[in-house]
């Protein structure tokens, strides 16, 4: 109950006309950028970060909240109307959503996605309100060894559970960790990997890294493979749902929320798994099984709710532990760090007003999303027709602008280009982005905790294992690393070099 009154306080603080305007602006910009093909929510947040440069933290966070939900919803709109999801979390939405759109039911698909996102986001945020403070209360007592173990668990989960190739996942992670090394060592003040450049010694701004890898990398990659024949876009009218649509949607919304939130809240990363599970569940439970694969509304409602609930869930580890588990959450963390705020258990105690205002603005942003996007859907659909040369020139323009505004240094533009080329390379070689960006952000934090833990034990490795929680987490990490390969071996199905090696061995 204490949480509710604090949330009420947050709502009061957020409910000023100026703040509402920022929230609305955030939702509008977020959806606008998110709808544009090729731009996922993470890139939307990264591109829009510089806009909040001169703002107060509170207002900036309120705007982020809007951008966050707006960007997510924009991505779903694109996948329903274009059938090519911009990010893995929308894959499931695209399957049934685009079929619905082709059957002339685009309006209903967009409506069930919007209302489902709203329901899931609201319930999800309320769950954050209850879970995050409790988790932070426990987390305050967590020592450096357990903290280090937790971060290790997060990167291992994200790297080895998601994605098709573990090797490539770890290449991404360690590239990110290497980037995170650049700059002054936090405790001795010596520059590392600075190539004698004082501008590098001052640490690379995460905005530059994120915008380079997400925006510039994507634009260059698309430029190399731009399709000459544009995709067909399904025309759309005002979103609405009939009686039948409502009765078929509300249960999938709630089930999707229930599946999505826990996946976001435990640092297991990603909305892929819950959206997939939700899709399978709805297909099993539906009475209209024959419609699945041809545009079943349950197949849009469930995964879309799961996606948003999991996005809300990621705020639990982000706020309570300072642990981001998705690309978008990673950039939100970077944004908060940019304002000199380090999310984590201390934040809840030190700056409760800020946290509660942020949570309240998530609720507001979510509501505004529904209010704005139902009437604006036809406008968003028209955005999809933006001529591609303008679209990608615009991305390059705003990416350069964003990187330049951080310090007004041409050198940052050079770094931007460098990270853009890196972004191109990882897309070419199939190296996942999420472990990379997570490595950049979490690497320095991991080092701090590692050194803190080992300083207490005077350098002895036992310092890493002297808390029960830490040992428990290491056991979990070991299981995560060992169990799937063993299972794969037992079932005898794998498509990696390991499989080939087995075959060669059995041949000989």
Partner 1 sequence: MSTAQKPPPDPTTGPPAERHEDQGVDKAQYGLAALLAALGAYTIFDATTLKVGFADPVGPRVFPYLIGSVMVLLAVLLAVATSRGDRGEKEEGEDIDPDAAPDMVTVLKLVGILVFNIVAIDFLGWAITGAILFAGCAWSLGSKTLLRDVLIGAVMSVGSWYFFFSGLDIPLSPGILDGIL
Please list every residue from 154 through 213 that binds partner 1, using CB under 8 A.
164-165, 167-168, 170-171, 174-175, 177-178, 181, 185, 187-188, 190, 192-193
For residue 57 the two structure tokens come to 């933290």
Give yes or no for residue 454 binding partner 1 (CB under 8 A). yes
The encoded tokens of residue 492 equal: 């005898």
Residue 388 near partner 1 by CB under 8 A? yes
Distance CA 103, CA 106 (A): 8
Smallest distance from partner 1 to CB 489, Å: 18
Name the token pair of 178.
């290497």
Tell me the sheet residues that pair with 191: 184
Residue 137 lies near partner 1 (rule: CB under 8 A): no
- Does 385 bind partner 1 (CB under 8 A)? Our answer is no
Q: Which stretch binds partner 1 (CB under 8 A): 137-145, 261-269, 352-360, 408-416?
A: 408-416
Size of the site for partner 1 (CB under 8 A): 85
Q: Which of 13, 258, 418, 469 binds partner 1 (CB under 8 A)?
A: 418
- Closest approach of Cβ 308 to partner 1, in Å? 21
CB-neighbour burial class of residue 42 (10 A; exposed 0-12, middle 13-18, buried 19+): buried
Q: Decide if residue 225 touches partner 1 (CB under 8 A).
A: yes
CB nearer to partner 1: pick between 121 and 212: 212
Closest separation in Å from C-beta 327 to partner 1: 13
Annotate 265-306 with DSSP letters as a single string: HTTT--SHHHHHHHHHHHHHH-S-GGGTTS--THHHHHHHHH
Within 86-105, which residues bind partner 1 (CB under 8 A)?
Answer: 86
Gap between the Cα atoms of 185 and 202, Å rounded: 10
- The window from 2-10, 18-26, 288-296, 407-415 that contacts partner 1 (CB under 8 A) reads 407-415
d(Cα 56, Cα 496) in Å, to the nearest integer? 50
CB of 237 to partner 1, least distance (A): 22
What is the distance between the alpha carbons of residues 377 and 440, in angstroms, rounded to a whole number? 36
**191-221: string of b/e by CB count within 10 Å (b at 16+)?**
beebeeeeebbebbbbbbbbbbbbbbbbbbb
Q: Would you count residue 340 as binding partner 1 (CB under 8 A)?
A: no
| Sign of the CA dihedral running 345, 351, 354, 356 | positive
Q: How far are the Cα atoms of 101, 176, 187, 387, 477 from residue 444, in angstroms, in the given order?
A: 46, 10, 11, 41, 20
Closest to partner 1 by CB, 94 vs 362, is 94
When asked if residue 293 is in the footprint of partner 1 (CB under 8 A), the reply is: no
- Name residue, tokens 């991991």: 446
Q: Does 353 bind partner 1 (CB under 8 A)?
A: no
Q: Binding to partner 1 by residue 269, rule CB under 8 A?
A: no
Pick 2 or 189: Cβ nearer partner 1: 189
Tokens representing 336?
Answer: 């908060």
- 218: contact with partner 1 by CB under 8 A: yes
Q: Is residue 114 involved in binding partner 1 (CB under 8 A)?
A: no
Q: How far is the CB of 299 from partner 1 (least distance, A)?
A: 20
Question: Is 221 a residue that touches partner 1 (CB under 8 A)?
Answer: yes
Which CB atom, from 350 or from 495, has the smaller least distance to partner 1?
Answer: 495
Give whichever of 78 and 357 is closer to partner 1, judged by the CB atom: 78
Q: Closest distance between partner 1 and the C-beta of residue 446, in Å?
A: 8
Q: How remote is the C-alpha of 294 from its chain's centroid?
A: 29
In DSSP notation, 340-392 reads T---SHHHHHH-HHHHHHHHHHHHHHHHHHHHHHHHHHHHHHHHTTS-HHHHH
Query: What are the backbone angles phi and psi of residue 192, rounded to the nearest 5°?
Result: -120, 140
* 397 lines the binding site for partner 1 (CB under 8 A): yes
């Amino acid at each position: 109950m204490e949480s509710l009154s604090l949330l009420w306080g947050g709502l009061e603080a957020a409910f000023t006309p100026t703040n509402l305007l920022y929230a609305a602006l955030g939702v509008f910009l977020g959806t606008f950028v998110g709808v544009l093909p090729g731009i996922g929510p993470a890139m939307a947040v990264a591109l829009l970060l510089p806009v909040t440069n001169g703002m107060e933290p509170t207002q900036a966070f309120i705007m982020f909240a809007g951008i966050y939900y707006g960007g997510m919803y924009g991505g779903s709109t694109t996948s329903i109307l274009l059938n090519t999801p911009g990010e893995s979390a929308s894959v499931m939405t695209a399957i049934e959503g685009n079929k619905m759109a082709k059957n002339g039911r685009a309006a209903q698909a967009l409506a069930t996605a919007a209302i489902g996102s709203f329901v899931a986001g609201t319930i999800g945020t309320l769950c954050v309100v209850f879970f995050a403070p409790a988790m932070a209360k426990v987390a305050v007592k967590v020592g450096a060894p357990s903290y280090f173990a937790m971060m290790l668990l997060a990167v291992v989960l994200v790297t080895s559970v998601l994605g098709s190739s573990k090797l490539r996942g770890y290449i991404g992670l360690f590239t990110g960790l290497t980037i995170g090394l650049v700059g002054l060592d936090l405790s001795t003040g010596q520059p590392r990997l600075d190539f004698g450049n004082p501008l590098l010694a001052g640490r690379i701004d995460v905005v530059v890294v994120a915008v380079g890898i997400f925006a510039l990398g994507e634009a260059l990659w698309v430029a190399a493979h731009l399709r000459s024949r544009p995709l067909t876009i399904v025309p759309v009218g005002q979103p609405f749902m009939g009686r039948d649509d409502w009765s078929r949607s509300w249960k999938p919304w709630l089930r999707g929320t229930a599946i999505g939130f826990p996946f976001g809240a435990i640092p297991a990363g990603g909305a892929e798994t819950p959206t997939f599970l939700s899709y399978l569940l709805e297909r099993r439970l539906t009475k209209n099984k024959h419609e699945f694969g041809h545009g079943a509304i349950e197949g849009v409602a469930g995964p879309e709710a799961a996606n948003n609930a999991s996005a809300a869930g990621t705020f639990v580890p982000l706020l309570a532990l300072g642990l981001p588990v998705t690309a978008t959450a990673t950039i939100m963390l970077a944004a908060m760090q940019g304002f000199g705020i380090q999310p984590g258990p201390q934040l809840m105690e030190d700056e409760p007003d800020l946290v509660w205002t942020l949570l309240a603005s998530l609720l507001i942003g979510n509501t505004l999303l529904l209010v704005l996007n139902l009437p604006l859907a036809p406008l968003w659909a028209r955005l999809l027709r933006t001529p591609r040369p303008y679209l990608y020139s615009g991305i390059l323009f705003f990416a350069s602008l964003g990187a330049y505004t951080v310090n007004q240094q041409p050198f940052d533009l050079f770094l931007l280009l460098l990270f853009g080329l890196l972004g191109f390379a990882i897309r070419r070689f199939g190296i996942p982005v999420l472990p990379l960006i997570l490595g950049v952000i979490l690497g320095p934090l991991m080092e701090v905790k590692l050194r803190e833990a080992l300083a207490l034990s005077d350098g002895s490795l036992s310092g890493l294992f002297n808390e029960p929680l830490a040992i428990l987490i290491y056991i979990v990490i070991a299981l995560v690393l060992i169990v799937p390969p063993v299972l794969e071996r037992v079932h005898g199905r794998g498509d990696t070099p390991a499989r080939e090696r087995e075959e060669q061995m059995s041949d000989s």
